Structure 1
Amino acid sequence: MDEHQLYTVSIYTENNIGLLNRISAIFQRRHINIESINSSVSEIENVTKWIMVVKLSEDQMKKIIGQIEKQVEVIKAYYHTEEETIYQETCLFKIKSDLLFNERQIQNIIKDSYARIVTVNKEFFVIEKSGRKEEIDLLHRELSVFGIMQFTRSGRIAVTKDEMKISTMLKALQH
């Protein structure tokens, strides 16, 4: 039995309108939820890198990578296990300012979680935390007790432990 596990999918593409819809439709047709998604410039000029996190079997993953690579704008797609990647997520918490001064425990939570305060005013303060999903989830649970005014988190950003051959391949094509 092919077991479901989390995969980090890296997709190198031209930056074209509508591509996200077509890629997400590939997952949607198979009833696979995308846990997180991030899009940014890559190490290669004019190439966008998408990072998606999905939970499925390796057989399904291989089929989906094949489907993704059939999209005209997709240069190359890869998938990696948790062990093969170095990854982080970032989040922001907005909390009432009086708690920062009246609840000593909040200051300790911030310090112990290696989060940092990015802004403080009379009404609220904002904490930023980067780390693994579990670390962010823990901080969220600890701060929820006091009340969170707003919360947002990024999708996963990741690099592979092994060299990505695409970088060398695309640099060669640019010359």
Structure 2
Amino acid sequence: MQQEFTITLFSEKHEGLINKVALIFTRRKININSFLVVFCKTVNLYRFTITFTETEEAVQNIVYQMEKVIEVFKCYLQTEAELSTYQILLLKFPNSDEKEKQVTSIINAFQIIQENDYCVYTSKTHKEIIQQLATKIAELEPMDSF
């Protein structure tokens, strides 16, 4: 049975990535309802949000294909029901910071970028856990900006 899905993926800036993503849908003759690309300045990543209607089996194959694209760091799949209960979270921490270990222990975070001076993590989690995380961050001393 077909239902509406939303795919959110994160990548760095690469020429032709929009074409690669659109080609995955074109080969399967799937119509895209919405396609949004946003630049996240704080973590220097691009976020793609794609909504479309398809069967769950076909969608699993699409997510698998997208994660195989080298430029894609992480790809999340959400149904309409999950969109109201889950949120995608991006965290940026200085390297070798104790706050990083304390905060990432609360959520199941996936590291997507490791640079010399910082790391970027992402996670798909419930709103309640994000509230717990916000209070934990508020309890910790303020982080230095870089």
TM-score class, shorter: 0.5 to 0.7
Cα deviation, residue 46, structure 1 = 1.3
Cα distance change, pair 62–44 in 1 and its aligned pair in 2 (3 A): farther
Q: CA deviation at 1:61?
A: 0.4
- SS in structure 2 of the partner of residue 28 of structure 1: helix
How far residue 78 of structure 1 moved from its aligned partner, in angstroms, is: 1.0
SS at match of 1:170: strand
Compared CA separation, residues 170 and 47, structure 1 to 2 (3 A): farther
Sequence identity percentage: 27
With the length of structure 1 as denominator, give the TM-score of the two structures: 0.51
Relative distance call for 1:44 and 1:75 in structure 2 (3 A) is farther
- Shift of the 163–51 alpha-carbon distance from structure 1 to 2, 3 Å rule, reads closer
Is the CA contact 2:12–2:72 (under 8 Å) kept in the aligned structure 1? yes
Give the AA of the match of 1:82. Answer: E
Match in the other structure for 1:54:
52
**How many residues get paired?**
99
Q: SS at 1:85's partner residue?
A: helix
C-alpha contact 1:68 1:74 (8 A) present in aligned 2: yes
Q: Secondary structure at the match of 2:86?
A: coil
Structure with bigger gyration radius: 1
Q: Which amino acid aligns with 2:83?
A: T
Find the counterpart in structure 2 of residue 8 from structure 1.
6
Equivalent pair of 2:73/2:112 in contact (CA under 8 Å):
no
- CA RMSD in angstroms comes to 2.2
Give the alignment's TM-score, normalised by structure 2: 0.60
Pairwise mapping of residues 95-174 of structure 1 onto structure 2 (< 5 A)? 161-164=85-88, 167=91, 168-170=109-111, 173=114, 174=118
CA shift digits 1:133-152 (9 cap, x unpaired): xxxxxxxxxxxxxxxxxxxx
Query: Match for 1:84 among 79, 82, 85?
Result: 82
When residues 166 and 39 of structure 1 are mapped into structure 2, their CA distance, relative to the original with a 3 A threshold, is same
Question: What corresponds to 1:40 in structure 2?
Answer: 38
Query: Residues 74, 15 of structure 1: CA spacing in aligned structure 2 closer, same or farther, 3 A cutoff?
Result: same
Quick check: 1:44–1:171 contact (8 Å CA) kept in 2?
Answer: no
